[in-house]
Chain A
Amino acid sequence: MIKRIISKSAIFLRIIFLISVFLILLIGGFTYKHISNLTNSSKLVVTTFKVNVELEKVMSYLKDAENGHRNYILTKDTTHLEPYLTAREKVNESFAELKEIANHGPVQEENLKTLSKYIDSLFRNFTQTSAFVENGFALTEEFKSNFFEEKIIMDSIRHKISEMMDLENRHLQERQKQYQSNLEFTPLFLYLMLLLTLVLIIVSYSKINNDFKNIKIINNQLSIFKEATIQLETVGKHGNWVWYVESNKYTFSDNLYRVLGEKPRAFEPTFEAFLEFVHPDDRKKFSADVERMMKEEDLPFTYYRIIKKDGTVKHIKGYGKLLINNDGEKRIVGNITDISDEIERFLELEERNLELEKNNAELSEFNYVASHDLQEPLRKIQTFISRLEDKEAKNLSASGNQYLERIKVSATRMRLLIDDLLQFSRTNKPDKEFVLTNLNELLEQAKQDVAETIIEKQAIITSDVLPTVSVIPFQVHQLFLNLLSNSLKYSKVAEAPVIKITYELVHSKDDINLINIPKNEYHKITFSDNGIGFEQQYANQIFELFNRLHNKQEYSGTGVGLSICKKIIDNHNGIIIANGEPNIGAIFTIYLPI
């Protein structure tokens, strides 16, 4: 939780601020308290000093009175009584002071009372002694006793005053000690508090500075982002809106207005104002979507039309997402996109596709029909050629027989071509049904179809066990047949053809031929032979329709076989690759996806 608080700048700064304020107030309070204590301490010193001074004064007055009184006793001169006569009043003045400034504890108050009594006794004693002297009873026993009593009273007064001064001084020392201990602690404490406050202020400043820099950077980025967004909106025909959930207010971006065909801020951004633009047929659905958005606080993709004021209808795609900011305020931020162009293109594409499909179908039909219809007259031609050969050959001249032979070869060739074209058109037919088929069976069938040629050429065919795969059976049979036929046809004259059929399950990332292919695993079937081979530069050319590397005199053929193989592999979303080396052999690699 502490980490969260520190990461959230505002709270962290507030806490630091409050702590600093608290510390400053604390320091202020402490400082005031201690200055106050210092003042009190100095006042206490002054008070103790004053008390001691007054007590000394009292002592001095009493001594003067005593001296004056004794001088009077000695000389009987009443002028010496002046200090005695004024002493009482002066002592009263001192007492008036002492009552207010002396330590108000019960002990000192009692001391003052006792002192007052002593002084009163002393003055009575003085009066009595004076009376003795005035009446001529000086130096009598009573006088002596009285005189002695005076000394005792004076001693008592001296002792009491000393006691009071000691008490004041002790009190002062105690308070001084207390203040001293506080004073020792206070400067260090204040210094530490100040340091702490300083550290906090520095930390706050540093944080604020960093935050300010970050905010500046973010602001710059936001400005760029905002500009980029505006441009993106304009180019991409987007408009943004924000719905403030709690206050139920909307804001529209400038480009949103443009998408609706209006100038920016042409009207107040409200749901009702926007609804005016929605196509009447779509308003119900749109309103329902918006209502759901308000309840669920989310707006998945929604599609509707709008009608601009000039009557143009536009297709719109809308989307909204809930955002909750750091203060817990909910907003739904949404986007509308004018997808009219995409819709138009899509419709156009669909139309063209339909047209293409129609054309393809017609072409395939034409291909098939033409091949099929051509077969009938061709069959007739070959039949009558055969009859001519059988019955009229001896009636024909040498050149006539030669011409007939050439007609026969051409007819045969045409037959082959029509057969191959028929084959080709079959691979184009749309009804391609994939069936889980054991490829070994298809290979065997193909081998059976060319069994005579295999025997004639003493060909050796070896094959790995092939898997069971979902394929179009008759097409894969044709594929295997064509590849085997080619290997047998293009074998070396003096060498028996050796055809190897190997199988492997490969991953696209492990096979160099599959590097850019998205599918993961493939069935790799390889047909390799030891025939005449071909130049590798023709590896792609040989799969083109009617394309042959040799003329018909060298090797028979129509140039359609490998095109058919390519077409079949395309139908299975596979790949066929040819590799050849003249006089070494050819390798045809087929990849069928799993």
Chain B
Amino acid sequence: MIINKNIKKQLTLTLIISVGVSIFSCDFDRDENENNLYNNEAINKRVQVNIEEAKIMSDIAILNETLIAMSDSVKGKSNNYHVKNISNKLKKDNLKIKKSLNELAEKKLILLPNKIDENEILELHENEKADFSEIYLKKIEALLKNQITQLEYLSNITNDVDFKVLTVKILVNLNYNLNQTQKILKTNY
């Protein structure tokens, strides 16, 4: 009788263990895991995001280059102290932004263009000297707004921490510069 009871216990234990082992041996790590190399849907999604990030980064880089080029154009064209000031600051800041963009692009394997929006430069230089500062400031304002919009959009679509950190860092700077530009515009024009 004792042997019968022991065998029953052992058999029950064996059954539980065998079922448990069988269940745990199953691989439940399925499509929910987005880092799975073989999850097509997740990969496609990430690829689209990567493409979008690269695109936005390229646009921001072009805007940044344009802003730098514009700030270079102010020399000899405007005598307004505030304009000169803001253009110097913008140049410094944009060069820093350029550096940050390049570093991130290298890390994220994104090829950034080093071209500028020549139309904007041409439009800037087309006008009379008297209107230059106002036009410059307006163009800067537009470009900064554009840059801010792009950065905000990037911040929304990306899940990458590096991008988010970059956008936060740059946005603070850009928003300040935009405010300053708008102030100057309001005060002087």
Contact of A100 among B3, B14, B46 (CB under 8 A): B46
Contact of A120 among B4, B47, B111 (CB under 8 A): B111
Is A18 within 8 A of B109, CB to CB?
Answer: no
Q: Which residues of B contact A328 (CB under 8 A)?
A: 1, 4
| In the complex with contacts A92-B54, A95-B109, A104-B37, A33-B25 CB distance below 8 A | yes
Stretch in A110-118, A561-569, A585-593 touching the partner: A110-118
Bound form: Cα–Cα A258–B60 in Å: 110
Q: Which residues of B contact A26 (CB under 8 A)?
A: 18, 22
* B98 close to A (CB within 8 Å): no
Q: Which residues of A contact B46 (CB under 8 A)?
A: 100
Is A327 within 8 A of B109, CB to CB?
Answer: no
Q: Which B residues, 1 to 54, have Cβ-Cβ distances below 8 Å to chain A? A: 1, 3-4, 7-8, 11, 14-15, 18-19, 21-22, 25-27, 37-38, 43, 46-47, 50-51, 53-54
Bound form: Cα–Cα A579–B38 in Å: 118
Contact of A89 among B14, B50, B55 (CB under 8 A): B55
Bound form: Cα–Cα A113–B15 in Å: 53
Contact of B37 among A28, A47, A95 (CB under 8 A): A47
| In the complex with contacts A47-B38, A92-B51, A112-B109 CB distance below 8 A | yes
Bound form: Cα–Cα A308–B133 in Å: 134
* B residues in contact (CB < 8 Å) with A: 1, 3-4, 7-8, 11, 14-15, 18-19, 21-22, 25-27, 37-38, 43, 46-47, 50-51, 53-55, 58, 106, 108-111, 113-114
Taking chain A's interface residues, is the majority helix, strand, or loop, or is none over half, making it mixed?
Answer: helix
Q: Which residues of B contact A44 (CB under 8 A)?
A: 38
Is A89 within 8 A of B106, CB to CB?
Answer: no
Is A43 within 8 A of B50, CB to CB?
Answer: no
Q: Which residues of B contact A117 (CB under 8 A)?
A: 106
* A549 close to B (CB within 8 Å): no
In the complex, which of the residues A11, A92, A113 has the most CB atoms of chain B within 10 Å of its own CB atom?
A: A92
Rounded to whole Å, the gap between the CB of B117 and the closest CB of chain A is 14
Q: Which residues of A contact B50 (CB under 8 A)?
A: 95-97, 99-100
Q: Which A residues, 78 to 130, have Cβ-Cβ distances below 8 Å to chain B? A: 88-89, 91-93, 95-101, 104, 112-113, 116-117, 119-120, 123-124, 127
Rounded to whole Å, the gap between the CB of A194 and the closest CB of chain B is 16
| In the complex with contacts A32-B27, A327-B4, A25-B22 CB distance below 8 A | yes
Rounded to whole Å, the gap between the CB of B186 and the closest CB of chain A is 38
* A370 close to B (CB within 8 Å): no
Is A96 within 8 A of B11, CB to CB?
Answer: no
* Complex A-B: 6 CB contacts under 8 Å: A18-B11, A29-B22, A92-B55, A116-B110, A119-B111, A123-B111
* A206 close to B (CB within 8 Å): no
For residue A4, which residue of chain B has the nearest CB?
B3
Contact of A21 among B18, B27, B51 (CB under 8 A): B18
Contact of B11 among A14, A29, A104 (CB under 8 A): A14
Is A22 within 8 A of B109, CB to CB?
Answer: no
Contact of B18 among A22, A95, A127 (CB under 8 A): A22
Bound form: Cα–Cα A419–B55 in Å: 157
Taking chain B's interface residues, is the majority helix, strand, or loop, or is none over half, making it mixed?
Answer: helix
Across the A-B interface, give the 3 residue pairs with the lowest CB-CB distance, nearest first.
Answer: A328-B1, A96-B50, A25-B22
Is A100 within 8 A of B18, CB to CB?
Answer: no
Contact of B110 among A14, A95, A127 (CB under 8 A): A95
Q: Which residues of B contact A39 (CB under 8 A)?
A: 38
| In the complex with contacts A26-B22, A33-B25, A92-B15 CB distance below 8 A | no
Bound form: Cα–Cα A1–B51 in Å: 71
A-B pair count, CB < 8 Å, reads 99
Q: Which residues of A contact B18 (CB under 8 A)?
A: 18, 21-22, 25-26
Rounded to whole Å, the gap between the CB of B78 and the closest CB of chain A is 28
Q: Which residues of A contact B27 (CB under 8 A)?
A: 32-33, 36
Q: Which residues of A contact B4 (CB under 8 A)?
A: 11, 326-328
For residue B53, which residue of chain A has the nearest CB?
A96
Q: Which residues of B contact A93 (CB under 8 A)?
A: 51, 54
Q: Beyond A25-B21, A99-B108, A100-B47, list 12 extra A-B contacts (CB 8 Å).
A: A4-B3, A22-B18, A29-B21, A33-B25, A92-B51, A96-B50, A97-B50, A99-B109, A101-B47, A113-B106, A116-B109, A327-B1
For residue A43, which residue of chain B has the nearest CB?
B38
In the complex, which of the residues B18, B26, B43 has the most CB atoms of chain A within 10 Å of its own CB atom?
A: B18
Contact of A29 among B26, B38, B43, B114 (CB under 8 A): B26
Contact with B along A19-38 (1 / 0, CB 8 A): 00110011011001100100
Q: Which residues of B contact A119 (CB under 8 A)?
A: 111
| In the complex with contacts A29-B26, A88-B113, A101-B37, A18-B51 CB distance below 8 A | no
Q: Which residues of B contact A116 (CB under 8 A)?
A: 106, 109-111
For residue A8, which residue of chain B has the nearest CB?
B4
Q: Which A residues, 493 to 549, have Cβ-Cβ distances below 8 Å to chain B? A: none
Bound form: Cα–Cα A33–B21 in Å: 13
| In the complex with contacts A21-B15, A93-B54, A100-B47, A28-B22 CB distance below 8 A | yes
* A40 close to B (CB within 8 Å): yes
* A15 close to B (CB within 8 Å): yes
For residue B2, which residue of chain A has the nearest CB?
A328
Is A88 within 8 A of B58, CB to CB?
Answer: yes
Rounded to whole Å, the gap between the CB of B16 and the closest CB of chain A is 10
Q: Which residues of A contact B51 (CB under 8 A)?
A: 92-93, 96
Q: Which residues of A contact B113 (CB under 8 A)?
A: 88
Q: Which residues of A contact B25 (CB under 8 A)?
A: 29, 33
Contact of B14 among A1, A22, A96 (CB under 8 A): A22
Bound form: Cα–Cα A421–B125 in Å: 181
Bound form: Cα–Cα A112–B54 in Å: 16
For residue A42, which residue of chain B has the nearest CB?
B38
Bound form: Cα–Cα A492–B21 in Å: 112
Bound form: Cα–Cα A369–B7 in Å: 87
Rounded to whole Å, the gap between the CB of A68 and the closest CB of chain B is 16
Bound form: Cα–Cα A28–B27 in Å: 12
Q: Which residues of B contact A327 (CB under 8 A)?
A: 1, 4
In the complex, which of the residues A5, A28, A89, A104 has the most CB atoms of chain B within 10 Å of its own CB atom?
A: A89
Contact with B along A426-470 (1 / 0, CB 8 A): 000000000000000000000000000000000000000000000
Is B54 within 8 A of A11, CB to CB?
Answer: no
Rounded to whole Å, the gap between the CB of B59 and the closest CB of chain A is 11
Q: Which residues of A contact B111 (CB under 8 A)?
A: 88, 91-92, 95, 116, 119-120, 123
In the complex, which of the residues B1, B38, B50, B109 has the most CB atoms of chain A within 10 Å of its own CB atom?
A: B109
In the complex, which of the residues A36, A44, A88 has the most CB atoms of chain B within 10 Å of its own CB atom?
A: A88
